[in-house]
Structure 1
Amino acid sequence: MVKKIYLIRHGQTYFNVRGIVQGSGIDAPLNDTGQQQARQFHAAYAAVPFDRVHISTLMRTQQSIQPFLDAGLPHEKHRALDEISWGHREGTRITPEEDIEYHGLLRAWQRGETHLGLPGGESPEEVAARQRPFIEQVLRGRPEEENVLVCMHGRAMRVLLCQLLGYPLSRMDHFEHRNLCLYKVHYTGSMFAVRNYMDTAHLG
């Protein structure tokens, strides 16, 4: 049996629109556009016989898949799926000075220095470490679940995709994302393969 993992990023928040850094420390709700994106995704995928839904502990992921929960699908919350902590930048508007800091960190990650993080925040390696038990227990430990829906966050999703597909974390920016985009990943029992890449067709 092929396990099909529908991996989505949460819908749009007011923080996304205003250019304010969220991370794991900001529990922002969806805005009106994000709520509409959630309804559009549900309309496109309501017929998929999902066995279980997995979300982060932050409200923007639950709100993004709330129509599925309202239909009675079992779900679980996992801190493993929370966004990376951006430390001292969380809750602040992006400024040119912070852009220098942020892009400098991205370049360091692309050089393979994925042990680094912003002051007070997490590194990609720390995010990967907290995700690994989720991968082992949920994605590989329940072979009877054929269709699984996972809703999480942009940077954390990039880290997760690297782990599933065997890429080094230095290549995580190859996995682009938008609000309520879909990555569909198939797991054969020995390997993962991406079938849908940053799919937003459901958003019209």
Structure 2
Amino acid sequence: MRLLLIRHGQTPSNLGHFLDTARPGPGLTDLGLRQAAALPGALAGEDIAALYASTLTRTQLTAAPLADEQGLDVLIRDGIRELSAGDLEMRADEAAARQYLTTAFAWSAGDTARRMPGGENGVEALSRFDAVVAEAASSLAAGAPGAPRTVALVSHGAAIRVWTAARARNVTVAFAAEHRLDNTGVVVVEGSPGTGWTALSWAGTVVPPITANGSEGAGPAGRAFPTPGS
């Protein structure tokens, strides 16, 4: 099974570096709409069996052009929404971004009992994302032989980075923390819920068998972020 984990297009909150994670969230900027419109061309070589988006407006707007191009319905699932910022919601200061990312990447490192202030813990966040992936895998297993084996999930920056670091055997927490995922960036992973996952590419860059630290970093709201403590 091949998973395309796609970050949504640019939003006004991305421009302001706000920790904007609540439903339904903002729409897309003009640039974000252009980014969404460019997705079908960027993924023209992918034969996609199913297309999912989160319950936040920005992912559904991002998924719409791809759905039209490939003749797919967009399946809306809450499990792949952004990691809840809890009490940090709509803050744009560096301290809040650091606390958010420190907590989120602690989940990838195995400290899943740790809770976002006023929000969810790692068990809850990773389990809900896992559930959507498992649903997609089950739908492929029930399909006809020879049917497409690729599923696209339009989700959010922190959710994708944290889930990939937690589940892909060749992505370390340091790699995911230090490699940004720009709007409509794609992480490609391959495997299954039963056998585990291997990352094939991250925003167009091939992921080696064991990742090494990168040189660039970004917090979930897009601000440069050196190390973990959308």
TM-score interval, normalised by the smaller of the two chains = 0.7 to 0.9
Partner of 2:135, secondary structure, is helix
- Indicate the residue corresponding to 1:59 in structure 2: 57
Q: Is residue 8–residue 151 contact of structure 1 (8 Å, CA) maintained in 2? A: yes
Q: Deviations over 1:55-86 (max 9, x none)?
A: 11111111112112224312211111011110
Amino acid aligned to 2:200: R
Indicate the RMSD between aligned Cα atoms, in angstroms: 3.0
Q: Call closer, same or farther: CA 1:132–1:30 in 2, change over 3 Å.
A: same
Which amino acid in 1 is paired with 2:41? A
C-alpha distance in 2 between matches for 1:69 and 1:174? 31
Amino acid corresponding to residue 194 of structure 1 in structure 2: A
Of the candidates 152, 163, 167, which is equivalent to residue 155 of structure 2? 152
- Give me the identity figure in percent: 25
Q: How many residues align?
A: 197
Question: Does the CA contact (< 8 Å) of 1:26 and 1:90 recur in 2?
Answer: no
Whether the 8 Å contact between 1:112 and 1:169 is mirrored in structure 2 is: no
Matched, 1:194 2:199: yes
Give the partner amino acid of 1:134: V
Aligned in 2, Cα 1:196/1:104: closer, same or farther, shift over 3 Å?
A: closer
**Unaligned regions of 5+ residues in structure 1, if any?**
none
Unaligned runs of 5+ in 2: 206-230
- Which one scores higher on RCO, CA 8 angstroms, separation ≥ 6? 1
Aligned partners of 2:98 and 2:82: how far apart in 1?
A: 21
Aligned to 2:2: 4
Aligned residue runs from structure 1 range 55-134, under 5 A = 55-71=53-69, 72-92=71-91, 94-99=92-97, 101-102=99-100, 105=103, 112-134=110-132
SS at match of 1:180: coil
Q: Name the aligned partner's letter for residue 193 of structure 1.
A: T
Contact 1:83 1:153 in 2 (8 A): yes
Higher helix share: 1
Q: How does 1:44-55 map to 2 (within 5 A)?
A: 44-55=42-53
Paired residues for 1:158-197 under 5 Å: 158-166=161-169, 173=177, 176-187=180-191, 190-197=195-202
